[in-house]
């Protein structure tokens, strides 16, 4: 199948390479000329514009967007919408908010354009091991593009999970769960590190992946991260979030679901970005006031 890929970042570029290795034809567009050249050197076709990309695709065009969620997705889709026709297929493989996907699908359907929202998980390892694909939308366009899904995913790694929006909804919850699992590993390994035992944390992570009930790919990645430096000396404890953890917590609130662990994991990421939390200052001050507990004096900073 010949497919257009918009966005040749870490995910989009590797997905293009996996498709090429699977016998598909890829026409790639990115705002970076260097990235376009790199794709062409790997056997893909580089497009100099969205118009050029669409012109290189056959009838019943299939276009996969791998761009950041939000305004960029909205503006890119608006441009693509002007260039394609009824029965063409657009796939959004980014981390879009599922309600935006429902709205976009309804808008495109008025013109007969088919829209699939594809929650995509696999990160930088997807090129080697494949991508888990959670797809929302109608059955007919899903079946038409299925050869592409089959190439991108490992065995049993893709599925039409529901109507429009379901793909990005399930990916949102997937990422919320990911926050909680990561936070559990982070807290557990800090306890291990602070214990009186001289533990090899890399070896322990490897051990737990051999039949343990907490074995996982994330634990395998932690083993790799600990291999060179178990103190993680060169890594600052600042943890960003892509937004899907926030959306998951908001959805839990809307549905009256007590998602305690997932909410805590999100709040802990916020805490990681504070050098000296004001809330911790308040706690220290209160302990001093009611119990006379000592406080550590902060080094004054000149303004």
CA distance 50 to 85: 14
Check: CB of residue 152 under 8 Å from CB of residue 131: yes
In 3D, which of 5, 11, 255, 21 has the Cα closest to residue 119?
Answer: 11
Q: Does domain 171-275 have CATH number 1.10.1040.10?
A: yes
Question: What's the whole-number average pLDDT of the chain?
Answer: 93
Please write the tens of the pLDDT for every residue from 248-261: 999 999 999 999 99
pTM above 0.75, yes or no: yes
The domain segmentation of the chain, as residue ranges, is 2-163, 171-275
Tokens at 143, concatenated: 């079946």
Antiparallel, parallel or unpaired: β 2-6 and 62-65: parallel
Q: How many residues does the chain have?
A: 303
Active site members: 171, 178
The answer to whether domain 2-163 and domain 171-275 are alike in fold is no
Task: Using the structure block, give the residue that is written with the tokens 């996982």.
Answer: 216
Please write the tens of the pLDDT for every residue from 134-144: 999 999 999 99
At 103, is the secondary structure helix, strand, or coil?
A: helix
Instruction: Outline where DSSP puts E strands in the chain.
Output: 2-6, 25-29, 45-46, 62-65, 89-92, 114-121, 132-136, 158-162
Q: Which helix (H) or strand (E) holds 90?
A: strand 89-92
In this structure, the number of other CB atoms found within 10 A of the CB of residue 149 comes to: 20
The yes-or-no verdict on residue 289 having pLDDT over 70 is: yes
CATH of domain 2-163: 3.40.50.720
Q: Stretch 147-151: mean pLDDT, rounded? A: 98
pLDDT at 302: 47
Please write the tens of the pLDDT for every residue from 182-216: 999 999 999 999 999 999 999 999 999 999 999 99
């Amino acid at each position: 199948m010949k497919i257009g890929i918009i966005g040749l970042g870490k995910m989009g570029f590797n997905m293009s390479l996996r498709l090429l290795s699977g016998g598909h034809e890829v026409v790639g567009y990115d705002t970076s000329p260097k990235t376009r050249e790199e794709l062409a050197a790997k056997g893909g076709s580089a497009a100099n514009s969205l118009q050029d990309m669409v012109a290189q695709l056959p009838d019943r065009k299939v276009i996969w967007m791998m761009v950041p969620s939000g305004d960029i997705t909205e503006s890119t889709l608006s441009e693509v919408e002007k260039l394609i026709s009824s029965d063409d297929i657009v796939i959004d493989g980014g981390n879009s908010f599922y309600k935006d996907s429902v709205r976009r699908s309804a808008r495109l359907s008025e013109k007969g354009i088919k829209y699939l929202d594809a929650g995509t998980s696999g990160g930088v390892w997807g090129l080697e091991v494949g991508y888990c694909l959670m797809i929302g939308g109608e059955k007919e366009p899903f079946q038409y593009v299925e050869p592409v899904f089959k190439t991108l995913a490992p065995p049993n790694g893709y599925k039409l999970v529901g109507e429009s929006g379901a793909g990005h909804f399930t990916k949102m919850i997937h990422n919320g769960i990911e926050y909680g699992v990561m936070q559990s590993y982070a807290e557990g390994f800090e306890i291990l590190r602070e214990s009186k035992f001289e533990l090899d944390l890399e070896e322990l992570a490897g051990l737990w992946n051999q039949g343990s009930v907490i074995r996982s790919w994330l634990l395998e990645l932690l083993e790799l991260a600990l291999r060179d430096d178990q103190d993680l000396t060169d890594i600052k404890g600042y943890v960003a979030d892509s937004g899907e953890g926030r959306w998951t917590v908001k959805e839990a609130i809307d549905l009256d679901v007590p998602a305690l662990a997932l909410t805590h994991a999100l709040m802990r990421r916020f805490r990681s970005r504070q050098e000296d939390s004001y809330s911790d200052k308040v706690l220290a001050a209160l302990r001093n006031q009611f119990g006379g507990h000592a406080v550590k004096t902060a080094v004054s900073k000149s303004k």
